[in-house]
Every structure is written in structure tokens, then in C-alpha cells.
Amino acid sequence: MRPLYFIVVFCTLVSCRKSETPQGGNPHVPYQPIYEVGDYFHNDTLEGVVFYTYGIHNGLMVSLEETLQPWCITSHIICETGATNPCDGWNNTNILMSNYDLYNYPAINWSYQRNTWHHIHYDHRLINHRQWYVPSNMEMRYLLMNQAAVNITLDSLSCPTLEDKTYWSSTETGTRGAAAVRMQDGKIVISDSVKDQVFYVRAIRHY
């Protein structure tokens, strides 16, 4: 009778144990919010406004701040850098980082300086998609296409909005020019502008 009693008690104890994994979930998978265009993105170290999404948990956000800067200083205006990518601003930034001193390219340098690790350990470190950079002309175009939703959020945060401004892209267009993007009469205009002109600059990054 003793062996039978032991088996009954053991089975009862096992059946009363609570599961370590909640039903319908995996405790090891962190929660990932789903963002839509116009949403305010923020965590412990980052904040911005979402202006483009792809997939379920990925997209592009724009900085809350902006600045007025030339694309490059006048003494470097005739230097062709090769930063001509129309789609990837991070690629343009890395080309400039690899070959030139960013202090001669104020618009690009402003966005680069937003990456806080730059001030801690790295003076000349290439960036990836998940760090701040000046958008290419096509990325700037996507931002202005969705500026109505973005502006609502920027305004609610008391941040400068996007309308009626010309913005530098990171895309070089030739010896003396780079692509500037603006909204005019409801249409997005991409123009070849002299690189030492002063236009607005925003930084973007993937989240």
C-alpha cells in the first residue's frame, strides 16, 4: 500500500504546479508595438515621428528638431563626393564619412552628431540604418508625401512642422549641386541646388 500512496501524492503535487509559460505567449519575446504613419515614437533614448512603414514592426521616423545649414562649405563646393544615391541617405553619409571631414558638410554633420555614441567613443564611425542620417531625395519625398499626418504630431509636441520649407537631401547631383526637396502647389519638387545655399535639414532613421 505504501508505494501506491506515494504515487498518488506525487501525481497530485505535479498536477498542481503552475505553468511557467503564460497561455498564448512566450515570456522571452519582448513586446514590440506596431506604429502607423504620424505616430509619436519614443523609448528611453529615442524619439521622433513615424512617416513610413514597412512590414509589421519596421519603418522610418523623422527627428523632432531641424536646422538651417548649407550642404557643404563654399571652399568644397566644386568637389564631387560620390554621395549620389537617390534612395539611401545612410549610404551617402557613409561615403562622405569614408572620404571627407564631415565638418566641411554641415547638413550631413548635423544629423551625424545626433548619434550620441559619436561623443563617447567614436570620432569617425560609419553608420547603419538604425542611426540618424540626412534622407536621400526619395526618402525626403516620402516624408513630404506624409507631412499632413507628421505635422499634426509635431504640432502637438510644440515642435517645428514641415510645411512651406525647402529641405536638403543627402543626394549630390553634380559638381556644384545637391538635391533639395520642397512642396509647391501641392506637388513635390526636387531641384538641383548649389551646395553652399542654406536650407532646412531633418534627420531620419529606421526604427
- Over residues 121-157, the pLDDT tens digits come to 555 678 777 899 999 999 999 999 999 999 999 999 9
- Mean pLDDT (whole number) for 56-77: 96
- Take residue 95 and report the three cell numbers written for it: 561615403
Q: Specify the pLDDT at position 27.
A: 55
Matching residue, cell 536646422:
67
- Take residue 187 and report the three cell numbers written for it: 506637388
Helices 137-145 and 147-156, interaxial angle, to 10°? 70
Is residue 188 very low, low, confident or very high in pLDDT (cuts 50, 70, 90)? very high
Q: Tell me the pairing of strands 67-70 and 198-201.
A: antiparallel
Q: Specify the pLDDT at position 119.
A: 52
Q: Is the pLDDT of residue 51 over 70?
A: yes
Is residue 44 very low, low, confident or very high in pLDDT (cuts 50, 70, 90)? confident
CA 176-168-142 angle, 5° bins: 130
Is residue 83 very low, low, confident or very high in pLDDT (cuts 50, 70, 90)? very high
Q: Specify the pLDDT at position 10.
A: 38
Eight-class DSSP state of 159: -
Q: Give the model confidence (pLDDT) of 8-42 as tens digits.
A: 433 343 333 334 334 444 556 667 889 999 999 99
Q: Specify the pLDDT at position 35.
A: 96
